Amino acid sequence: MKMVYLILFAAFMLVSCSAKDNKKQTELPDNMALASSIHVVEAKESSAVEEAPEELSELVEEETEPPIETKTKAEEILAKMSVEEKLGQLFICAFRKDAFGSGITGISPEAIEAVEKYHIGGVVLFRENIASQKQTAEYISNLQMLSNIPLFIGVDEEGGIVRRTQSLEVPSVGSQFSIAKEGEAAVYSSAKAIAEYLTPMGFNLNFAPVADIFSNPSNTVIAQRAYGTDEKTVSSALPYAVKAYNEAGMVSVLKHFPGHGDTLEDSHYGLAFTRKALDELREMELKPFAAGIEAGAPMVMAGHICAPNITDDNEPAIFSHRLITEILRGEMGFSGIVITDAMDMGALNSYSAEESALKAFEAGVDILLMPPDYKAAYSGLLEALLSGEITSEQLDEKVLRILECKEKFMLLDNYENLD
């Protein structure tokens, strides 16, 4: 009899526990529902099991948030800039002499206004601005302290006759023409030497190397500033210079697109002309630029050079959508910064500051170098933007290229003002 009672008691307990378990299962919190359903699916036939993953994956997809897009520092800065700040990045200015004709070697009221009010993107120094290494370093440091976004600080230091540091105790570098005769290693070494004495002073942009071919003996503006008299020599040398500058963290500039070495005229005094057709340029003048671009040159300088057999007009390359956007960017695949040659040169005397700035912008140029009246040029672009003649998308595209270059060459490393 005792055995019977034990059996009945065990059966009662089994039923009671089962009921409690069922009650607990119905009271599972919401976040446990998915786990519970998995057990139910496992108890079904195989055909139902095969359908389950699709149902579960759809549920997971619905509840998964889209991935967060990460932005570069350049993109973060661009997103927080005002229109005025964006426009300022398109300008690199020079402050050469004061009202008494003396070279400016320190912060001037003009520089303060240009940087703080117009938010210019860079400054270029000339021989009259460079008295000593210590003075130059202090001057550049003070310029950078004025600017919210770090400045391009540029100089023309090709070697040979084009040097702005002749008053300093720095290595003497020969002309590109003479260096190329020594071989490609000498080209690399000379560019490296230039970068090594410029960077400690604070320079981060050098308007070199010259990509022109000295193919016309009557040409006086390029001559031995070029690496050679044929496209093969120049095309072979350029990548070594670009490599040296890139490794040193210095922005280099290929100049003067689409080629100044076969012109008779000097664009310092008037417009220069190339009478070649596009196919002829492709076989000669454009090859060194292509080699430099492939080597990673971050900037190309467009010259005040007219190509009437290509553009059907007598306007310089900096105003030519055909040359800048269609050929340099489209055909040659250049995605870096396009900068003008100095806009205070005689070649542009017949154009107003407002007109030349707008025409260069529309052609595809990113940076305006040394407009004779940068305030008028700035105002002209602002007016064109407000009227819809140019768009904010076009402006953003240019400014992003500039900021990306500054980020790549680590100019933005100390920029913290993202709020």
**How large is the average pLDDT for residues 140-161?**
97
Q: CA 64 to CA 320: how far, in whole Å?
A: 49
Q: Place 4 in a pLDDT band, splitting at 50, 70 and 90.
A: very low
Reported for 167-176, long-range contacts at CB under 8 A and 24+ positions apart, including other chains, are: 167/127, 167/130, 167/131, 167/132, 168/130, 168/132, 168/133, 168/136, 168/197, 169/133, 170/133, 170/197, 171/197, 175/224, 175/225, 176/209, 176/210, 176/224, 176/225, 176/226, 176/227, 176/237
Average pLDDT, the chain: 87
**Pseudo-torsion of CA 342, 346, 347, 350, nearest 10°?**
110
CA distances from 414 to 328, 404, 408 (A): 33, 15, 13
Q: Place 367 in a pLDDT band, splitting at 50, 70 and 90.
A: very high
Neighbours of 152 (CB within 10 A): 24
Task: Determine the pLDDT at residue 414.
Answer: 76
Cis peptide before 39 (omega within 30 of 0): no
- Asked whether the beta carbons of 301 and 257 are under 8 A apart, the reply is yes
The 3-state DSSP class for residue 314 equals coil
pTM for the full predicted model: 0.83
- Cα end-to-end span (Å), the chain: 86
- Asked whether the beta carbons of 261 and 305 are under 8 A apart, the reply is no
List of domains in the chain:
2-63 (no CATH), 75-408 (3.20.20.300)
**How large is the average pLDDT for residues 54-67?**
51
pLDDT > 80? residue 291? yes
Task: Determine the pLDDT at residue 230.
Answer: 97
Task: Determine the pLDDT at residue 63.
Answer: 52
Task: Determine the pLDDT at residue 314.
Answer: 85
pLDDT digits (tens, 9 = 90+) for 190-210: 999 999 999 999 999 999 999
Q: CA 250 to CA 35: how far, in whole Å?
A: 59
Q: Place 415 in a pLDDT band, splitting at 50, 70 and 90.
A: confident
The 3-state DSSP class for residue 177 equals helix
Sign of the Cα torsion 392, 394, 395, 396 reads positive
Task: Determine the pLDDT at residue 71.
Answer: 87
**How large is the average pLDDT for residues 124-129?**
98
**How large is the average pLDDT for residues 351-376?**
97
Q: CA 335 to CA 115: how far, in whole Å?
A: 27
The one-letter amino acid code at 103 reads: G
Q: Place 265 in a pLDDT band, splitting at 50, 70 and 90.
A: confident
pLDDT > 60? residue 61? no
pLDDT > 90? residue 317? yes
Q: CA 409 to CA 407: how far, in whole Å?
A: 5
**How large is the average pLDDT for residues 4-30?**
41
Task: Determine the pLDDT at residue 353.
Answer: 96
Q: What percent of the chain has pLDDT over 70?
A: 83
Task: Determine the pLDDT at residue 416.
Answer: 66
Q: Place 66 in a pLDDT band, splitting at 50, 70 and 90.
A: low
Select the more confidently predicted residue: 65 or 333.
333
pLDDT digits (tens, 9 = 90+) for 241-264: 999 999 999 999 999 999 999 998
pLDDT > 90? residue 417? no
**Could you give the residue numbers annotated as active site?**
268, 341
